[in-house]
Amino acid sequence: MKVIGICGSPRIGNTEFYINLVLDDLKENGFEVELIRLRDKNINQCEGCYKCIENKRCVIEDDFHEIFDKMAKAHGIIVGSPVYNGSITPRLKALLDRAGFSGRWVSNNLKTEDGKYQWGQMLFSNKVFAPVTVARKTGQTFALAQLTLWATVNDFIITGSNYWTVGTAGTSGRVNANEDSEGISIMKHLAHNMNHVITKLND
Ligand X SMILES: Cc1cc2nc3c(=O)[nH]c(=O)nc-3n(C[C@H](O)[C@H](O)[C@H](O)COP(=O)(O)O)c2cc1C
Residues that bind ligand X (CB under 6 A): 9, 11, 13-16, 82-86, 134-139, 169, 173, 175
C-alpha to C-alpha distances, 112 to 39, 102, 117, 125, 128, nearest whole angstrom:
41, 19, 7, 21, 29
Cβ-proximal residue to ligand X, closest one: 13
- The residues with which 79 forms a beta bridge, in sequence order, are 6, 131
Rounded least distance, CB 86 to ligand X, Å: 5
Cβ neighbours of residue 200 under 8 Å, at least 6 residues apart? none
Pick 22 or 123: Cβ nearer ligand X: 22
Backbone region of residue 86 per phi and psi (left: phi > 0; alpha: psi in -120 to 50; beta: other values): left
Rounded least distance, CB 19 to ligand X, Å: 9
Pick 29 or 138: Cβ nearer ligand X: 138
Rounded least distance, CB 43 to ligand X, Å: 17
Pick 76 or 82: Cβ nearer ligand X: 82
DSSP symbol at 87: B
DSSP symbol at 129: E
Nearest to 177 by CA among 185, 84, 48, 158: 185
Pick 44 or 141: Cβ nearer ligand X: 141
Rounded least distance, CB 168 to ligand X, Å: 8
Pick 187 or 197: Cβ nearer ligand X: 187
Rounded least distance, CB 179 to ligand X, Å: 12
